[in-house]
């Protein structure tokens, strides 16, 4: 096995994994913590990609900034979706079948609306750094070690920004009142009552945050690769594989699992061909479900 | 005591780091009426779940009619003749009251029963608990006490040798409690061993021939009811909370 | 409770099917569609089988399968595989597809059904992606380029090959609906419903839940595979992206839910209504708008009428509570 190829595949995998963490963190909150099986999450991510695309194409705004601009809108969208979900399903105790069907419907509605609006052509964004590697971008091609200098900015920026977003979320969850209330919502209804928090409100906030992350993840996605509406479905297997592997709702577990999957996919793509990569996540998901449903971080 | 119908020995159960049950020993004689009490969170329901196979105990054994139940899942234990009612009633909400009873009737007797036999047994059970007039209603239309009765009727439909009633009377009024106690005593008189878990002391005292007390996952007393409730350790546990 | 026996029902279903067989050409004439009426009806009937199959698992036991397209594709590619290897008559292919679909359902179920329901749903969703990956990489069945399956020019006993396919699908509908109805009224049906309502209570009532769930996934997978088996001969040229397409995934869930999941009538009504609507609509609007319409209807129904059209009608006609099925 050529050593260089292995190393660069590993590095690419880690970069990819960082990005996957951003893609998955929304699911980890919704599914892992709130127990809401939001299978439409990838569709919201693609929606985020298209918003980044519009802002970038129309106004030349940097995609990452575009993602940040879209955050509040996605937060509101998330709060609205939760409200509908709560009133229609959670309150009636019908979340199992009907709730799943609801999100399934949302997935298709979002995807088809995007198809109707933008067609099935691939869209991409433009920014100065996207086609560069780190060495060229910093003008340090000569002085940096080759491996580092050749890191593609297209992967590096999303990865770094993802980890940044991840860190912010971790701090919010661990350090703030809202964050602790969100964790309590899933584990300890009594503690939540003692904190004097309204569980529905806390869940709405948490779900809104989870959808808001899709705005960022979408922007990162369209930096990494051109996007068309059905790309989202490839991510369904991935995000749930990562979420389950990471131990459902453990944010640290999510990060580790994301990097693991990124590396596994990158190695598969390098040594067996990229057309096999989508199968990796599913295989991993099935193996996890079959042998270790509590995930790598589980007891 | 004759050979026990149920014998729990050295049973332990943890949830993560939390020890819910520790080294529980319990023998129940055939035909006995046993009361199981303990403060909230003392592990009573957890013990029931371990006995019935809803949870898997970490240590110890559960024997039913001299048979080790290890590895048997809930429905297999049910088919051996062990029935339970749930602390919070869990009826099949989409089915009528009669159909709720039909499910265990269809799934527990090895010998094939004809449609008529099933219908007859179903009516008999509904009559026994006093729900005969509500056979075609749905669980959501029932009152609390009827819901408890349905829970008991469904447990009875598995033709159990042992019935474990987990707080069959929580939230009921005085006369309703007497109703259920009388019902349980009737069942016991028909030869069914009954374990009753209950917070309402008057009901427990009226019902039990023997009393077992759990506190923080440990068995602290086991004996005649009037002696057990005067046990200083038991008094302390109840006053402490 | 007055109920028809299974054999009586099967007989009635056959009579209805025969009536459909004779009426469809008439409708074709009136609309001036010619043979196209067979193409349209075949598609609707195919959805009846898919929706009924989905409902055996999803409606009866409450386990949501998102991978209908994958099971359908399994049936389809079983046919393609044998077509390349050694062409067999379609009824035999249907049986083979049922076996393969059933086995895949069983395998999926075995791996995930011991866990919470959501995991099963997610696994089926991911499975669609992976099976598609496998097919795309499998050159023997055409890979990503797709496969041509040339149908014979004529077939004995039938006016045209498309009429033959239509009759096969009609037969599958009769079988699927009869099986679904029989299950509903049997001990199996009570067990399924108990699982859907409360698995813990079902176990405590002596219901072997895992075994029953596996029976449901296997049956459901088998019928979906059957629905896909004649498809290559119907379509002539098939590509993975088409077979694994949106329409199948969304329709086989939307149709039972819109019709009503509690009984065999729901998927039948939902598939006929929605399927016909789509057939009429494809003439006028794009397939994307089609999927959009189905998605919107699905969301509308789960929110506003979770018991589907059957539930709506029942509510209209029910004077007193009680007296179900
Ligand atoms: N699945 C579980 N996971 C974690 N902890 C659990 C679980 N089930 C029970 N516990 C804990 O185990 C302890 C015993 O619970 P259990 O339900 O057996 O008490 P109980 O004696 O039945 O109380 P009550 O009288 O309120 O019904 C409680 O502290 C409870 O929080
Ligand atoms: Mg309890």
Per residue in C224-249, pLDDT (tens digit) is: 999 999 999 999 899 888 888 778 88
Q: How far is CA B231 from the centre of its chain?
A: 25
Counting runs of H as helices and runs of E as strands, what totals does chain C give?
Answer: 15, 2
Q: Which residues of C touch A279 (CB under 8 A)?
A: 129-130, 133-134
Closest ligand 1 atom, residue B46 Cα: 18
Residue B23 buriedness (CB in 10 A; 0-12 / 13-18 / 19+): middle
Contact A294, A29 (CB under 8 A): no
**Alpha helix (H) ranges present in chain B?**
44-52, 74-81, 97-108, 115-129, 144-156, 174-189, 201-207, 225-228, 232-240
Token couple for B13:
């159960």
Could you tell me the residue ranges of all domains in chain A? 3-120+129-145+152-291
DSSP state string for B82-129: EEEE-SS----TTS-HHHHHHHHHHHH-SSPPPHHHHHHHHHHHHHHH
CB contact under 8 A, C121 and A31: no
Residue B197 lies in a domain: no
Contact B93, B138 (CB under 8 A): yes
Q: Distance between CA B58 and CA B63 in Å, rounded?
A: 15
Token couple for C43:
């598609």
**CB of B49 shorter than 6 A to ligand 1:** no
Contact A221, A130 (CB under 8 A): no
Q: Distance between CA A30 and CA A26 in Å, rounded?
A: 6
**Alpha helix (H) ranges present in chain C?**
6-31, 36-61, 68-85, 90-112, 117-136, 161-185, 187-197, 199-204, 209-228, 231-235, 240-243, 246-259, 265-284, 287-304, 308-317
Token couple for A39:
């299978």
Contact A178, A154 (CB under 8 A): no
**CB of B44 shorter than 6 A to ligand 1:** yes
Residue C1 lies in a domain: no
C188-200 per-position pLDDT tens digit = 999 999 999 999 9
φ, ψ at C292 (rounded to 5°):
-60, -45
Domain extent at residue C147: 6-318
Chain C contact present for A20, CB below 8 A = no
Cα of A86 to nearest chain C Cα, Å? 11
Q: Which residues of B touch C3 (CB under 8 A)?
A: none
Question: Where residue B30 falls among pLDDT bands split at 50, 70, 90?
Answer: very high
A47-88 per-position pLDDT tens digit = 999 999 999 999 989 999 999 999 999 999 999 999 999 998
Say what the pLDDT of residue A161 is: 93
Token couple for B30:
């055939």
Low-confidence ranges of chain A (pLDDT < 70): 1, 94-95, 188-189, 295-299
Question: In 3D, which of B65, B136, B75 has the Cα closest to residue B100?
Answer: B136
Q: Distance between CA B192 and CA B184 in Å, rounded?
A: 9
Any idea what DSSP says for residue C65?
A: P
Q: Which bound ligand lies closest to the C-alpha atom of B19?
A: 1
Q: Ligand 1 pocket check: which of B24, B36, B46, B212 to mutate, most ligand atoms within 8 Å of Cβ? A: B46
Contact A59, A69 (CB under 8 A): no
Cα of A291 to nearest chain C Cα, Å? 9
Q: Which bound ligand lies closest to the C-alpha atom of B14?
A: 1
Residue B103 lies in a domain: yes
B70-114 per-position pLDDT tens digit = 889 999 999 999 999 998 889 999 999 999 999 999 998 766 778
Residue among C187, C322, C323 whose CB faces B106 most closely: C187
Q: Distance from first CA to last CA of chain B, Å, rounded?
A: 34
Domain extent at residue B132: 91-157
Q: Is the pLDDT of residue C207 over 80?
A: yes
**CB of B40 shorter than 6 A to ligand 1:** yes
Say what the pLDDT of residue A59 is: 92
CB contact under 8 A, B54 and C205: no
Q: Which residues contact C304 (CB under 8 A, 6 or more apart)?
A: none
B164 sits in which H/E element = strand B162-166
Q: Which residues contact C267 (CB under 8 A, 6 or more apart)?
A: C48, C51, C52, C54, C55, C59, C180, C255, C256, C259, C261
Number of domains, chain C: 1
Chain C contact present for B136, CB below 8 A = yes
Say what the pLDDT of residue A282 is: 77
Residue C292 lies in a domain: yes
Output C1 or A121, whichever has higher pLDDT. Answer: A121
Question: Where residue B21 falls among pLDDT bands split at 50, 70, 90?
Answer: very high
B159-218 per-position pLDDT tens digit = 899 999 998 787 788 888 888 899 899 999 988 999 999 888 888 888 999 999 999 889
Number of domains, chain B: 1
B28 sits in which H/E element = strand B18-28
Residue B115 lies in a domain: yes
Residue C273 lies in a domain: yes
Neighbours of ion ligand 2 (CB under 5 A): B 44-45, 87
Residue B136 buriedness (CB in 10 A; 0-12 / 13-18 / 19+): middle
CB contact under 8 A, C129 and A237: yes
Q: Is the pLDDT of residue C323 over 60?
A: no
Residue B58 lies in a domain: no
Q: Is the pLDDT of residue C1 over 50?
A: no
Q: Distance between CA C1 and CA C12 in Å, rounded?
A: 19
Chain C contact present for B139, CB below 8 A = no
Contact A187, A44 (CB under 8 A): no
Residue B122 lies in a domain: yes
Say what the pLDDT of residue C319 is: 54
- For the domain that residue C153 is a member of, what is the CATH number? 1.10.3470
Q: Distance between CA B29 and CA C2 in Å, rounded?
A: 46
Q: Which residues of C touch A94 (CB under 8 A)?
A: 306
Rounded to the nearest 10°, the torsion over CA A127, A130, A135, A139 is -20
Q: Find tokens 């008057």 and name the residue.
A: B202
Q: Is the pLDDT of residue C320 over 60?
A: no
Residue B231 lies in a domain: no
Give the torsion sign (CA, B153, B157, B163, B165). Answer: negative
Say what the pLDDT of residue A299 is: 42
Q: Find tokens 């999926």 and name the residue.
A: C108
Q: How many CA atoms lie within 13 A of B140 on its CB side?
A: 8
Average pLDDT, chain C: 88
Residue B224 lies in a domain: no
A190 sits in which H/E element = helix A189-194
Contact B72, B22 (CB under 8 A): no
- Rounded to two decimals, the pTM is 0.90
Contact C161, C151 (CB under 8 A): yes
φ, ψ at C2 (rounded to 5°):
-90, 120
Q: Distance between CA C19 and CA C148 in Å, rounded?
A: 34
Say what the pLDDT of residue C324 is: 46
Contact B176, B145 (CB under 8 A): yes
Residue C284 lies in a domain: yes
Output C68 or A148, whichever has higher pLDDT. Answer: C68
Q: Distance between CA C245 and CA C215 in Å, rounded?
A: 27
């Amino acid at each position: 096995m050529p050593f260089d190829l292995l190393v660069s595949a590993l590095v690419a995998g880690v970069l990819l994994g960082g990005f996957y963490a951003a893609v998955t963190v929304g699911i980890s909150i919704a599914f892992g913590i709130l127990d809401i099986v939001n299978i439409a999450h990838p569709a919201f991510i693609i929606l985020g990609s298209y918003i980044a695309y519009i802002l970038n194409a129309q106004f030349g705004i940097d995609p990452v900034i575009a993602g940040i601009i879209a955050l509040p809108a996605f937060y509101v969208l998330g709060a609205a979706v939760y409200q509908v979900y709560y009133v229609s399903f959670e309150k009636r105790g019908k979340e199992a079948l009907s709730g799943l069907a609801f999100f399934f419907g949302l997935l298709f509605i979002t995807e088809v609306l995007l198809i109707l609006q933008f067609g099935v052509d691939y869209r991409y964004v433009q920014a100065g750094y996207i086609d560069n590697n780190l060495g060229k971008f910093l003008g340090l091609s000569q002085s940096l070690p080759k491996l580092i200098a050749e890191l593609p900015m297209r992967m590096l920026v999303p990865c770094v920004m993802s980890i940044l977003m991840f860190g912010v979320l971790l701090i919010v969850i661990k350090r703030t009142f809202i964050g602790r209330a969100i964790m309590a919502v899933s584990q300890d209804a009594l503690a939540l009552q003692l904190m004097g928090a309204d569980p529905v409100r806390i869940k709405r906030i948490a779900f809104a945050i989870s959808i808001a992350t899709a705005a960022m993840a979408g922007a990162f996605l369209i930096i990494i690769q051109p996007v068309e509406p059905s790309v989202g479905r490839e991510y369904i297997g991935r995000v749930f594989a990562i979420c389950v592997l990471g131990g459902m709702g453990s944010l640290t577990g999510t990060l580790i699992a994301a990097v693991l999957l990124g590396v596994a996919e990158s190695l598969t793509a390098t040594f067996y061909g990229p057309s096999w990569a989508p199968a990796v996540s599913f295989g991993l998901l099935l193996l996890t479900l079959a042998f270790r449903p509590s995930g790598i971080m589980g007891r | 005591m004759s050979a026990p119908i149920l014998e729990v020995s050295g049973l332990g159960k943890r949830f993560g780091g939390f020890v819910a049950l520790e080294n529980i020993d319990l023998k129940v004689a055939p035909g006995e009426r046993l009361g199981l009490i303990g403060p909230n969170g003392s592990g009573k329901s957890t013990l029931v779940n371990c006995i019935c196979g809803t949870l898997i105990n970490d240590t110890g054994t559960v024997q039913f009619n001299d048979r080790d139940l290890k590895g048997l899942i809930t429905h297999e234990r049910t088919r051996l003749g062990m029935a339970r009612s749930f602390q919070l009633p869990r009826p099949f909400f989409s089915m009528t009251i009669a159909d709720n009873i039909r499910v265990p009737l269809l799934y527990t007797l090895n010998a094939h029963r004809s449609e008529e036999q099933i219908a007859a047994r179903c009516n008999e059970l509904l009559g026994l608990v006093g729900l005969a007039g509500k056979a075609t209603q749905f669980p959501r239309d029932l009152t609390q006490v009827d819901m408890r009765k349905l829970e008991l009727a469904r447990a009875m439909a598995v033709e159990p040798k042992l019935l474990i009633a987990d707080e069959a009377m929580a939230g009921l009024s005085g006369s309703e409690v007497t109703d259920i106690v009388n019902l349980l005593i009737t069942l016991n008189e028909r030869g069914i061993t009954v374990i009753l878990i209950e917070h309402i002391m008057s009901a427990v005292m009226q019902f039990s021939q023997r009393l077992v007390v759990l506190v923080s996952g440990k068995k602290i007393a086991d004996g005649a009811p009037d002696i057990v409730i005067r046990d200083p350790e038991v008094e302390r546990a109840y006053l402490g909370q | 409770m007055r109920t028809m026996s299974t054999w009586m029902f099967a007989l009635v279903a056959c009579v209805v099917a025969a009536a459909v067989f004779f009426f469809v050409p008439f409708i074709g004439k009136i609309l001036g569609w010619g043979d196209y009426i067979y193409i349209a009806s075949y598609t609707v009937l195919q959805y009846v089988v898919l929706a009924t199959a989905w409902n055996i698992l999803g409606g009866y036991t409450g386990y949501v399968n998102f991978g209908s397209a994958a099971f359908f594709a399994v049936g389809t590619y079983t046919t393609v595989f044998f077509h390349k290897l050694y062409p067999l008559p379609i009824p035999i292919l249907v049986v083979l597809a049922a076996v393969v679909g059933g086995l895949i359902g069983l395998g999926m179920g075995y791996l995930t059904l011991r866990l919470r329901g959501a995991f099963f749903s997610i696994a089926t969703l991911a499975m669609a992606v992976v099976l598609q990956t496998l097919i795309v990489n499998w050159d023997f069945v055409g890979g990503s380029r797709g496969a041509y399956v040339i149908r014979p020019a004529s077939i004995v006993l039938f006016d045209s090959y498309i009429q033959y396919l239509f009759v096969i699908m009609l037969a599958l509908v009769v079988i699927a609906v009869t099986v679904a109805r029989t299950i509903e009224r049997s001990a199996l049906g009570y067990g399924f419903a108990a699982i859907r309502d409360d698995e813990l209570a079902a176990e405590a009532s002596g219901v072997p839940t895992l075994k029953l769930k596996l029976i449901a996934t296997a049956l459901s997978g088998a019928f979906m595979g059957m629905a896909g088996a004649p498809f290559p001969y119907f379509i002539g040229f098939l590509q993975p992206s088409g077979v694994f397409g949106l329409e199948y995934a969304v329709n086989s869930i939307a149709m039972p839910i819109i019709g009503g999941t509690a009984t065999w009538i729901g998927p039948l009504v939902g598939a006929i209504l929605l399927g016909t609507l789509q057939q009429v609509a494809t003439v006028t609007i794009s397939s994307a708008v089609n999927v959009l319409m189905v998605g919107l209807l699905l969301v509308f129904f789960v929110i506003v009428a979770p018991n589907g059209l059957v539930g709506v009608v029942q509510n209209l006609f029910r004077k007193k509570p009680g007296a179900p099925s």
